[in-house]
Amino acid sequence: MVRLVLLGLCLFEFSAPFVAQESVQYVDGNRLLENCDEASQSRMYCFGYIAGAMDSQVTLINSLKAATKTQNKTGIYCLPKGGIELGQALRVTVKWLKDHPEKLHLPGDILIGLALRDAFACK
């Protein structure tokens, strides 16, 4: 009986992430723009999504630098010394999304990178 209960718990534990993933929604530019609009009640979600996208891009570049043992790799954008406020990143992203409606079908994290690249191009 104890084995059966443990087996059930293990099966539940391993299947839970797969069940939870079914409810995750893909974030494209349309959804990102909707959530980032000033009137949206999902604005905090937008701040978190943009911060996560920016963090993941920094992590990717740092990993590439470490893996290739070179320090001359830059990201797709170069923020000013001292960085920028998250609110500025949000405004840059929203403006870019509104200016490029033909790209709204693309993944949100990619669009954030493109918006920041256009605003803070590496020299």
- Structure confidence at residue 3 (pLDDT): 47
Eight-class DSSP state of 107:
B
* Domain residue ranges in the chain: 26-119
Query: Residue 16: what pLDDT?
Result: 40
CATH topology of domain 26-119: 10k-s Protein, Hypothetical Protein A; Chain A (1.10.890)
Say if residues 122 and 43 touch (Cβ distance below 8 Å).
no
pLDDT confidence of residue 29: 95
Helix (H) or strand (E) holding 33: helix 29-36
3-class DSSP state of 54: helix
pLDDT at 114: 95
pLDDT in the model for residue 76: 84
Number of residues that make up the chain: 123
Which residue, among 52, 17, 18, has the nearest Cα to 32 in the 3D structure? 52
Q: H or E stretch including 98?
A: helix 86-99
Whether the model pTM is above 0.85: no
Task: Spell out the per-residue pLDDT of the chain, length 123, in tens.
Answer: 444 433 344 444 444 444 444 555 689 999 999 999 888 888 899 999 999 999 998 888 888 878 887 766 677 888 999 999 999 999 999 999 999 999 999 999 999 999 999 999 988
Structure tokens at 108: 């949100």
